[in-house]
Amino acid sequence: MGHSSYEESIKKVYFGLILLAVVTLIEVFISLFGKGYIIGGVETSTVVLVVVGFLLIALSLYKAYFIIFEFMHMKYEAKGLALTVLLPMGLLVWGVIAFFQEGDAWGDRRELIKEKDEQTSEESIKPIGMIYNPDDTKYIN
């Protein structure tokens, strides 16, 4: 440390302990609330789902910030060091956005295929890109 007296820095550490513990307890409470344990029935609401998700992610990022900057002393390191470690993390923001969107698209595609499969069991198949002859029973399912 060397930035504050010994007693002060010890105080800071125990403040950090209480802060992280309290934030974790709040997170668990919010998570259980979002699943309908505190007040029954809220778990079906999309608003609750989005707000709970947002709060949980924000609180976790705060915990991460606190651990990196206080416990790992990033606050007291040279600016160049902090930037070389933190800036590459920006790539992960891109990764999260890009891949989650992709995963969502896979899900949509899966739904679409399921829907189409169900349709074909009820209606006839009309091949795309082929000449369709209604008399040809080969194409009628």
Partner 1 sequence: MATDTVLHDDVHHKDGENTDAWSGAAQPFEVSYGKLMMWYFLLSDAFTFAGFLIAYGTLRFSSPTWPVPDFVFKTAPFGIHEWFPGGHAPLIFVTFMSFLLIISSVTMVRAVQEGHRENKNGVVYWMILTIIGGAGFLGCQAWEWTNLIAHEHMTVNRNPFGTHIDHGVYLNADGTESSDIFKPGDSFLIHKDGHGHGHGGDHGAEAGHGDGHGHDAHDDGHGHGAAHDNIRKDVDLKHEYVDKEGFVHRKYKVTEGRDVGVVKQEAFGPKSFGALFFFITGFHGFHVLSGVVFLIIICLNVASGLYVKRRNGYEMVEKIGLYWHFVDLVWVFVFLVFYLL
Which residues contact partner 1 (rule: CB under 8 A)?
1-2, 6, 9-10, 13-14, 16-17, 20-21, 24-25, 27-28, 30-32, 35-37, 40, 43-44, 53, 56-57, 60, 63-64, 67-68, 71-72, 77-78, 80-81, 84-85, 88-89, 92, 95-96, 99-100, 102-107, 110-111
Residues 6+ apart with CB under 8 A from 19: 66
Among 12, 24, 8, smallest CA distance to 62 is for 24
Min. distance of Cβ 48 from partner 1 in angstroms?
Answer: 13
CA end-to-end span of the chain, whole Å? 76
The single residue listed with the structure tokens 């709970």 is 52
CA nearest neighbour of 1 among 11, 51, 127: 11
Nearer to partner 1 (CB atom), residue 48 or residue 139? 48
CA distance 108 to 113: 9
Nearer to partner 1, 119 or 140 (CB): 119
In the complex, the smallest distance separating the C-beta of residue 75 from partner 1, rounded to whole angstroms, is 13
- Which CB sits closer to partner 1, 86 or 140? 86
Q: Are the C-beta atoms of 63 and 20 separated by less than 8 Å?
A: yes
Distance of CA 106 to the CA centre of its chain: 17
Question: Residue 17 or 130: which CB sits closer to partner 1?
Answer: 17
CB of 3 to partner 1, least distance (A): 11
For partner 1, give the closer residue by CB, 88 or 129: 88
